[in-house]
Amino acid sequence: RPPLSLNQLVNKLLGCSLVLSVQAMYSASDDVIELTPSNFNREVIQSDSLWLVEFYAPWCGHCQNLAPDWKKAATALKGIVKVGAVDADQHKSLGGQYGVRGFPTIKIFGANKNKPEEYQGGRSSQAIVDGAMNALRSLVKDRLSGKAGGSSYSKQGGGSSSSGSKKDVVELTDDNFDKMVLESDDVWLVEFFAPWCGHCKNLEPEWAAAASAVKEQTKGRVRLGAVDATVHQVLASRYGIRGFPTIKIFRKGEEPEDYQGGRSRGDIIERAMDLFSDNAPPPELLEILSEDVLKKTCEDSQLCIIAVLPHILDTGASGRNSYLEVMIKMADKYKKKMWGWLWTEAGAQMELEASLGIGGFGYPAMAAINTRKMKFALLRGSFSETGIHEFLRELSVGRGSTATLGGGVMPKIHVVEPWDGKDGQLPVEEDYDLSDIDLDDDFEKDEL
């Protein structure tokens, strides 16, 4: 094979460096501390230091542009303010825990580590340093006035929950366990603990924080409970508890399973969300019958997938059902995303079609809408499992072209009757009896 020319070699090296920069935005040689669900609690939450944390995705262009300034700011702030980064594409539980919806997102973890503030400043190294120093001055001022006493998070062995409340951890006993856990349709993560156990005390704030987050994110379908195994020894004996803490997973009709994950709130939340997704039914596919249907479905979801199907006279019931079947399969495939799924008939919601620019692409058509940002993307491929999967996969990793919804507001939605599941029927034309009309006379009168 002939040797590479200088230009080819340069291009090859540039290509390699680009791949490396995307895969590993920060390295051990940087002053940026790489944060994960395993070390986030120890490094950030239990720290007395002020932290600036960037939540990024390796494929995100804005994140790649920010990286040099983020590293420069970290070096300038070394020993004064901690600067970290979370690959939120890989560690979705951490991003979800702090409401990260776009990249990059920067949070300031100050006096109250459980309620970080959104960084709203510029993205240059100087602006980041200025923002950090302003936050640091504010933190020191609060400490001087007695408003903040270092970390708001209880230290190891303190035994109180990070939020100051364990209200979302259900206290389970010999008396209520079967009814609450075994007879429930919900999934349960149950900690068996002993009050004197040091590891249990360390786990307590993580368990409490995870319980609140999981309850909110799963709408109560995954619950976290705790059993004092020194008091409720019937339960401890039944499940062979030999050490503390022991965590078990309970699903209705199945044998309990040992929890094998990490002990940070991020690890616990991530496992709970996986359990929720595994057990969750696919989202309901709804016909857009009114503004309420569209509003409720789309406002409760990060993305709303809307199909505009051909008129019933063009497809018949069997054709329409085949399209709906494809949508139901894709809704099930992407149920972990907890998106909303809707459909309407061509011509039923003309303003919606116009705002999405759907008319020019023919039917069936599909759009994904983010109502928070008033942005949408259109399916350009085939309306099939393969085509829709490719479309949604691109969206889920932040790729694909998007546009602003027409006018930047949700379009007018008409109240329509639901499809009855049957083939369409042409309107019946009335028969007119023309035998008693003298057409010639009429024409003569008209001409006169």
Annotated catalytic residues are 60, 63, 197, 200
Long-range contacts of 315-318 (CB under 8 A, 24+ apart): 316/423, 316/424, 317/421, 317/422, 317/423
d(CA 131, CA 347): 52
Beta bridge partners of 25: none
Strand (E) or helix (H) holding 351? helix 350-356
Count Cβ atoms within 10 A of the Cβ of residue 318 and give its class: 0-12 exposed, 13-18 middle, 19 or more buried.
Answer: exposed
d(CA 295, CA 75): 47
**Count of helices and strands (H, E) across the chain:** 14, 16
Amino acid residing at 412: K
d(CA 111, CA 136): 10
What is the residue whose two structure tokens read 């930047």? 408
Buried b / exposed e along 17-43 (16+ C-beta atoms within 10 A): eeeeeeeebbeeebbbbbbbbeebbeb
CB 376 within 8 A of CB 393: no
Picking from 74, 47, 52, the residue whose alpha carbon sits closest to that of residue 121 is 52
Copy the structure tokens of residue 143: 């400490």
Copy the structure tokens of residue 288: 């857009």
